[in-house]
């Protein structure tokens, strides 16, 4: 069995070694923490900015879809550019929607080309296609050197007009 003096001596030796280790590593943990925290903060800010960009992109695409869904209800609504723009703007209430354009094109139901004239499609009917394009500008809250200060986001939706 060990004597109590030997146990005490071993404890003192262990404490001295531990004290030396602490003195040699003075400030190292603080520097490691500061560097790690900085890196994690940059990653967090980047993830938040990417999420904001993804959200705005989804809003622009959904606005184009809302505009085309309004326009394909009938031939009358397909020509209502102001109504299409209003439908798109109402869907994108969380972003500043820029330009919204609507265009009509035609194809023959048998697959042939058409210029939207009644005489273009002999033996088949004319199908009207509505295309709505939207765009918006996105300004990130955190700017990195070498990257643009704003991005232009585009959305497009294409559907056949109901006859």
pLDDT at 39: 92
Tens digit of pLDDT per residue, the chain (163 long)?
Answer: 556 666 566 666 666 666 665 566 667 778 888 889 999 998 998 899 999 999 999 999 999 999 999 999 998 999 999 999 999 999 998 899 999 999 999 888 887 777 778 777 887 888 899 999 999 999 988 887 888 889 999 999 999 998 7
The reported pTM is 0.74
Q: What is the DSSP letter of 113?
A: B
Distances in whole angstroms, Cα of residue 87 to Cα of each of 5, 68, 80, 90, 128: 88, 9, 11, 5, 20
Domain ranges, residue 96? 4-160
Question: 151 — alpha (psi -120 to 50), left (phi > 0) or beta?
Answer: beta
- Count: domains in the chain: 1
Residues in the chain: 163
Name the token pair of 8.
């005490």
Name the token pair of 162.
């109901």
Query: Which residues pair with residue 156 across a beta bridge?
Result: 133
pLDDT at 148: 86
């Amino acid at each position: 069995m060990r004597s109590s003096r030997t146990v005490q001596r071993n404890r003192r030796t262990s404490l001295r070694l531990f004290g030396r280790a602490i003195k040699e590593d003075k400030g190292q943990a603080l520097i490691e923490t500061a560097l790690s925290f900085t890196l994690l903060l940059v990653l967090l800010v980047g993830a938040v900015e990417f999420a904001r960009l993804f959200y705005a992109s989804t809003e622009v695409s959904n606005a184009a879809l809302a505009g085309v869904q309004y326009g394909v209800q009938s031939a009358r609504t397909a020509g209502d550019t102001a109504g299409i723009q209003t439908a798109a703007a109402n869907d994108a209430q969380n972003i500043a929607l820029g330009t919204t354009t609507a265009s009509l094109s035609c194809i023959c139901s048998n697959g042939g080309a058409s210029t939207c004239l009644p005489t273009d499609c002999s033996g088949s009917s004319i199908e009207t296609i509505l295309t709505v394009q939207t765009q918006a500008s996105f300004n990130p809250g955190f700017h990195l050197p070498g990257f643009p200060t704003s991005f232009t986001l585009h959305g497009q939706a294409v559907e056949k007009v109901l006859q």
